[in-house]
Amino acid sequence: MQNFSNINAWVFDLDNTLYPTDYNLFHQIDVRMTGFIQRVLNVDKDEAFRLQKDYLGEYGTTLSGLMNRHNIPPDEFLEFVHDIDVTVLSPDPDLAAAIDALPGRKFIFTNGTTVHADRVSERLGVRHLFTDVFDIVAANYIPKPNADIYPTMTERFGINANQAVFFEDMARNLAPAHKIGMQTVLVHHEDDDGDGHVGMNGRGPMEEINFIDHKTTDLTAFLRSILASLDAAH
């Protein structure tokens, strides 16, 4: 395992990273996105779904497509699509213990909102462990993987990218982090076409990707292995 001894900033994506995809929480958001597009653009469900996925692929998020193509106010969209039932999530004390034991500061870096991040992370029992959240509003509605927002995030929090690691479930979102010097960890790295969190969005086999330093399908176990390696080094 690559040396994590110099890491003092631990940056985590939120949805499908801090919790397993088995909870299917993002499906609720996905359905509400489709419903929102149906209502505001006055189209049927199939057309709304097509636009939703087309904009996701072209702009990085459905919201960016709606803003660019239709001048949709972002706040209305974000409030509507994140009005979901987070009680399907279970508190995760093992994850909380592992995050708590990591040396340094911890952050959430999400294309969602801080309100959504707070609700989800509080439900998981980990919100109090994070120093701050960098959300889509802080990014001026420019989503990951736009390369411009990664240095904006690190500068906002005073993070040295060479002493930071980023955990994400979407491979394409790791490329800009790697480019600025962060270590990268792909979480739940199998492709998932069901909710828009597609591993590479058609960019080729994982074996050919050189911006992913680590892969795991079990975040808690991976964090424990980091902690064990840090303990062994002392």
- The count of domains in the chain is 2
pLDDT at 26: 86
pLDDT on residue 155: 98
pTM summary value: 0.89
Least confident stretch, 13-17, 29-33, 54-58, 225-229 = 54-58
Same domain, 110 and 194: yes
pLDDT tens track for 135-181: 999 999 999 999 999 999 999 999 999 999 999 999 999 999 999 99
CATH number for 151: 3.40.50.1000
For residues 202 and 107, membership in a common domain is answered with yes
Contact 16, 169 (CB under 8 A): yes
Report the candidate in 65, 33, 64 with the shortest Cα–Cα distance to residue 48.
Answer: 33
pLDDT digits (tens, 9 = 90+) for 41-74: 999 999 999 999 999 888 878 999 999 999 999 9
Tokens coding 226: 């980091």
What is the Cα–Cα distance from 30 to 16, expressed in whole angstroms?
A: 13
Q: Are residues 16 and 43 in the same domain?
A: no
123/157 same-domain check:
yes
Same domain, 73 and 126: no
Residue 77's CB is within 10 A of a number of other CB atoms, namely 21
- Please check whether residues 92 and 150 belong to one and the same domain: yes
pLDDT tens for 197-218 read: 433 333 444 445 799 999 999 9
Distance CA 185, CA 196 (A): 19
Task: Specify whether 152 is located in the same domain as 183.
Answer: yes
DSSP state for residue 168 in the 8-state scheme: E
What 8-state DSSP symbol labels residue 142? P
Question: With 0-12 CB in 10 A as exposed, 13-18 as middle and 19+ as buried, what is 140?
Answer: exposed
CATH number of the domain residue 35 falls in: 1.10.150.450
Domain span at residue 72? 25-81
Question: Do residues 76 and 185 both lie within one domain?
Answer: no
